[in-house]
C-alpha cells in the first residue's frame, strides 16, 4: 500500500495536500482496518462461493469462476459506492472546520494544485483499495470463464464512480454550498440516484422499442438509464442473456448515429467514459473560480434565498413547548425551517401520490380475447367463456383447474379471469382449463415489484435522515458551545439523552407513515375485493400482517439508527466525522444484513421455514417478505417446491419477527443505558 502511495504522489510533484493526506492515511489505524476488511471480504466471498465446486468437471469450474467474478464485481462496486461518499464528503467541511481554508488560499499554491490535490487525496484511498483487489480478481482467470476485458471494465466502472463522487464533493465545497447539512444531502442524492434509477429501469416505458432484422417487434433489455447507472452498466459486462444491449443494425435509424449508437450498444464503456468526462467538467470550474468565490462574502445559496424570500426569518409565531423541552427541540425545530418544511411534506406528498398511482394502474383492467366473469353456473354445471368466441360449455366432474399455475377448484371460478387455454373431452365437456389473473395495466407481479422498490427507497431515505440528525445532535451543541449551558442546568444525562431519542423518533414518525400508508392502501383494496367477490384464490399484494409488523419494525429500526448516531455523536469531536461514521455503519450493516438475508432465503441447503426465520432478522428482508415474497421470498413461497407452505412461512415470519423486534428493542435500551452511564465522563474527557 505504501509503495502505491509513493508512486501516486510522485504523479503530482510538490503537492503538499496530497502528500499530507496520503501519509496520514498510511498511519491511521482506521484506514488499515478498512483495507484489511475489504480484502478479507473479497477472499471470503471467493472461498464461500467456490466451496461447493469440488468436482473435476472443467465446465462446472468455469461456470463457478464466472459466478465468483460476478459476485466480487458487485461487492467491489457496492463497497466503492459506500466508501466513496464517506471519504469524499469530508472535502466539503474539513478545511473550514479546522480553519485552515484561508491559510491554504494564502499560500503560493495555484488553484489547480489545491483542487487537484484535495480531489486526489479524497479519491486516493478508494483507488488504492481497487488496486489491492487485483490479485484476488486474478484468481478467476485460473479456471477460465472470465475475460480480461470484463475484469478491466469492472475496475473502470468502480474507478469512474469514485472519481465522479469526489469531483462532485469538490464542486460543492468550492461553490460555498458546503455545510454540515450538505453532507447529508450528498449521501441522500447518491442513495436516491442509485435506487431510483434501478427502479425506473424496471418500467417498460424506458426500454427502447425496435424491429429486428427478422421484422419482429422487440423491446430492448437495457433501458435509457443503463449507461448512467454503475450497477446496470456492470450487469451488461456479464453477458446476461436477459440484459443484453441491442445490436447496431437493430436500432432505429435515428439511434444509429454517434453518440446514441455508442450509448445503446455499449453502455458499460459509455458509463465510465462519460463519468470521467463529467468529473473533469466539475473540476474545471472549481479550478477557475476557486479564489474568486472564496473572496465573496455571500454564497450562491444565501444570495438566492435573499432574492426569493426577502422576508424569511423576520417574524416567528410563539410555540408551545412539550413537557420535555429536549424532545420538543429535536422533534419540532428540525422541521420548522422553510427548507425542512418543504422537503418533509414533499416527501410525504410524493410517497402517497406514488402509492395511489400504483393502485389506480393496478385496478385499471384491459379486456383479453377470452375471459370468464362469474361464468360458472353450479346448478347447470356449465362455464360461460366470454370474449371474441363466446361459449357456454359443460364442465367435466374431474375437471383440472389452474389459476396462474396454481391448482384451484371450481368454486374459485367465481371471480374474473383470463382464459389461457382449455381442453374439451368427449361431448364437449371441459376437462382442463388454465386461467390467468385478469390483465391489468400493472399486473400483480409488477405492482409488487414497484411497491417494494418504492418502499425500500423511502425506508432508505428515512434511515439516512434520522442517522444524519442523530449524528449531529450532540456534536452540534459541542461545536457551538451550548452543551456547557445545558450541563449547568438541572437537566440530568438520563433526561437529556431520553429527550434526544424521543424527539428524533417523533421527528420521523410522519415520514414513516408514508410507506405504511402505501401498504395499507393495497391491503384495503385486496380486502374489499375478497369481501365483494368471495374469491379465495387471489394472492395478496401485501400480506395483511404487515399492518402490525411494518410500523413496529420501522419504528424500532429508526430508534436503533438514532441511538447509534447519538452514541457516535457523543464520542466524536466533529459533526463531519460523526455523520460519516454513523452513516457508513448503518449503510454497511443494512447492506450486509440484506445480502445475508436474501442469500439465506434462497439457500437450498436449509428448510424453507428455517430460511424465513433467519431472513426476518434483516429489516429489508422482512419488507421483501411482506410485499413481494413470490419473487424474493425463496423456496418457502415457490409453488414448484413440494414442501413449500406459504401459510406456515407467514406464521413463522410473524412469530420470529416479534422476537427480532424485542431483540432490537433490547439493543436500543442497552445502548441508551451505556450512554447515560458514560455521558458525564465522556464530556469531561473531551473538554480537556
Q: CA dist 670 to 98, 142, 560, 589, Å? A: 34, 49, 11, 18
Residues 272-299: pLDDT tens digits? 999 999 988 888 887 887 777 666 555 5
DSSP 481-541: THHHHHHTSS--HHHHHHHHHHHHHHHHHHHHHHHHHHHHHHHHHHHHHHHHH---SSPPS
CB 50 within 8 Å of CB 68: yes
CB 522 within 8 Å of CB 542: yes
The β-bridge partners of 423 are 432
CA–CA gap between residue 484 and residue 475 (Å, rounded): 12
Among candidate residues 223, 203, 228, the one with its CA nearest the CA of residue 354: 203
CB 79 within 8 Å of CB 41: yes
Segments of the chain with pLDDT less than 50? 1-13, 26-27, 178, 313, 335-337
Among candidate residues 406, 407, 437, the one with its CA nearest the CA of residue 419: 437
pLDDT of residue 666: 92
3-state secondary structure (DSSP) of residue 578: helix
Burial class (CB in 10 A: 0-12, 13-18, 19+), 563: buried
pLDDT of residue 49: 65
Phi, psi of 150 (to 5 degrees): -65, -40
Among candidate residues 472, 464, 457, the one with its CA nearest the CA of residue 558: 464
**pTM for the full predicted model:** 0.71
CA–CA gap between residue 334 and residue 507 (Å, rounded): 8
Q: Where are the beta strands (DSSP E) in 206-345?
A: 207-211, 217-223
pLDDT of residue 399: 80
The β-bridge partners of 434 are 402, 421
CA–CA gap between residue 143 and residue 61 (Å, rounded): 6
Q: Which grid coordinates belong to 157?
A: 466502472
CA–CA gap between residue 48 and residue 64 (Å, rounded): 11
Among candidate residues 415, 420, 419, 378, the one with its CA nearest the CA of residue 395: 378
How many CA atoms lie within 13 Å of 93's alpha carbon, on the beta-carbon side? 19
Distance of CA 111 to the CA centre of its chain: 36
pLDDT of residue 179: 52
Amino acid at each position: 500500500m505504501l509503495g502505491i502511495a509513493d508512486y501516486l504522489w510522485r504523479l503530482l510533484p510538490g503537492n503538499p495536500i496530497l502528500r499530507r493526506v496520503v501519509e496520514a492515511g498510511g498511519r491511521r489505524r482506521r484506514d488499515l482496518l478498512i483495507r484489511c476488511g475489504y480484502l478479507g471480504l473479497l477472499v471470503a466471498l471467493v472461498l464461500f462461493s467456490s466451496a461447493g465446486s469440488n468436482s473435476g468437471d472443467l465446465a462446472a469450474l468455469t461456470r463457478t469462476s464466472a459466478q465468483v467474478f460476478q459476485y466480487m464485481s458487485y461487492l467491489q462496486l457496492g463497497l466503492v459506492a459506500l466508501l466513496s461518499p464517506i471519504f469524499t464528503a469530508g472535502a466539503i467541511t474539513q478545511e473550514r472546520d479546522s480553519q485552515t481554508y484561508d491559510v491554504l488560499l494564502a499560500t503560493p499554491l495555484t488553484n489547480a494544485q489545491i483542487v487537484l490535490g484535495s480531489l486526489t487525496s479524497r479519491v486516493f484511498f478508494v483507488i488504492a483499495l481497487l488496486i489491492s483487489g487485483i490479485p484476488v480478481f486474478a484468481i478467476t482467470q485460473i479456471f477460465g470463464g472470465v475475460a480480461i476485458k470484463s475484469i478491466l471494465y469492472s475496475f473502470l466502472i468502480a474507478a469512474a464512480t469514485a472519481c465522479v463522487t469526489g469531483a462532485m464533493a469538490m464542486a460543492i465545497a468550492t461553490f460555498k454550498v458546503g455545510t454540515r447539512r450538505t453532507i447529508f444531502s450528498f449521501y441522500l442524492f447518491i442513495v436516491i440516484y442509485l435506487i431510483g434509477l434501478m427502479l425506473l429501469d424496471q418500467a417498460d416505458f424506458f426500454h427502447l422499442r425496435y424491429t429486428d432484422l427478422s421484422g419482429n417487434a422487440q423491446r430492448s433489455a437495457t433501458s435509457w438509464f443503463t449507461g448512467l447507472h454503475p450497477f446496470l452498466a456492470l450487469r451488461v459486462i456479464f453477458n446476461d442473456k436477459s440484459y443484453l444491449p441491442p445490436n447496431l443494425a437493430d436500432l432505429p435509424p435515428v439511434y444509429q448515429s454517434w453518440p446514441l449508437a455508442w450509448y445503446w450498444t455499449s453502455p458499460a464503456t459509455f458509463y465510465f467514459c462519460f463519468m470521467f468526462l463529467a468529473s473533469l467538467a466539475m473540476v474545471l470550474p472549481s479550478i477557475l473560480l476557486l479564489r474568486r468565490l472564496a473572496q465573496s462574502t455571500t454564497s450562491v445559496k444565501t444570495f438566492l434565498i435573499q432574492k426569493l424570500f426577502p422576508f424569511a426569518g423576520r417574524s416567528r409565531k410563539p410555540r408551545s413547548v412539550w413537557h420535555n423541552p429536549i424532545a420538543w427541540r429535536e422533534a419540532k425545530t428540525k422541521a420548522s425551517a422553510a427548507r425542512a418544511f418543504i422537503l418533509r411534506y414533499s416527501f410525504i406528498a410524493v410517497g402517497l401520490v406514488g402509492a395511489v398511482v400504483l393502485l389506480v394502474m393496478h385496478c385499471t383492467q384491459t379486456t383479453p380475447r377470452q375471459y370468464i366473469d362469474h361464468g360458472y353456473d353450479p346448478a347447470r354445471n356449465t362455464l360461460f367463456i366470454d370474449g371474441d368466441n363466446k361459449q357456454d360449455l359443460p364442465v367435466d366432474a374431474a375437471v383440472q383447474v389452474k389459476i396462474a399455475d396454481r391448482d384451484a377448484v371450481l368454486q374459485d371460478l367465481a371471480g374474473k379471469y383470463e382464459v389461457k387455454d382449455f381442453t374439451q373431452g368427449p361431448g364437449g365437456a371441459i376437462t382442463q382449463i388454465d386461467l390467468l389473473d385478469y390483465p391489468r395495466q400493472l399486473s400483480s407481479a409488477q405492482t409488487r415489484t414497484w411497491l417494494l422498490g418504492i418502499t425500500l427507497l423511502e425506508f432508505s431515505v428515512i434511515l439516512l435522515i434520522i442517522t444524519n440528525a442523530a449524528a449531529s445532535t450532540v456534536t452540534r451543541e459541542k461545536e457551538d458551545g451550548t452543551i456547557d449551558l445545558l450541563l449547568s442546568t438541572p437537566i440530568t444525562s438520563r433526561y437529556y439523552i431520553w429527550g434526544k431519542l424521543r424527539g428524533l423518533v417523533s421527528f420521523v414518525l410522519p415520514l414513516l407513515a408514508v410507506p405504511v400508508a402505501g401498504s395499507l392502501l393495497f391491503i384495503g383494496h385486496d380486502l374489499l375485493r375478497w369481501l365483494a367477490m368471495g374469491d379465495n384464490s387471489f394472492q395478496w399484494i401485501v400480506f395483511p400482517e404487515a399492518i402490525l409488523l411494518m410500523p413496529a419494525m420501522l419504528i424500532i429500526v429508526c430508534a436503533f439508527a438514532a441511538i447509534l448516531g447519538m452514541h457516535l455523536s457523543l464520542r466524536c469531536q466533529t459533526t463531519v466525522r460523526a455523520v460519516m461514521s454513523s452513516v457508513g455503519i448503518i449503510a454497511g450493516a443494512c447492506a450486509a444484513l440484506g445480502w445475508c438475508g436474501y442469500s439465506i432465503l434462497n439457500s437450498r441447503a436449509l428448510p424453507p421455514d428455517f430460511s424465513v426465520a433467519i431472513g426476518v432478522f434483516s429489516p429489508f428482508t422482512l419488507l421483501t417478505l411482506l410485499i413481494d415474497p413470490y419473487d424474493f421470498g425463496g423456496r418457502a413461497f415457490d409453488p414448484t417446491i413440494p414442501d413449500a407452505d406459504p401459510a406456515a412461512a407467514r406464521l413463522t415470519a410473524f412469530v420470529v419477527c416479534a422476537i427480532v423486534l424485542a431483540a432490537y428493542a433490547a439493543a436500543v435500551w442497552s445502548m441508551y443505558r451505556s450512554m447515560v452511564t458514560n455521558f458525564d465522563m465522556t464530556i469531561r474527557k473531551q473538554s480537556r
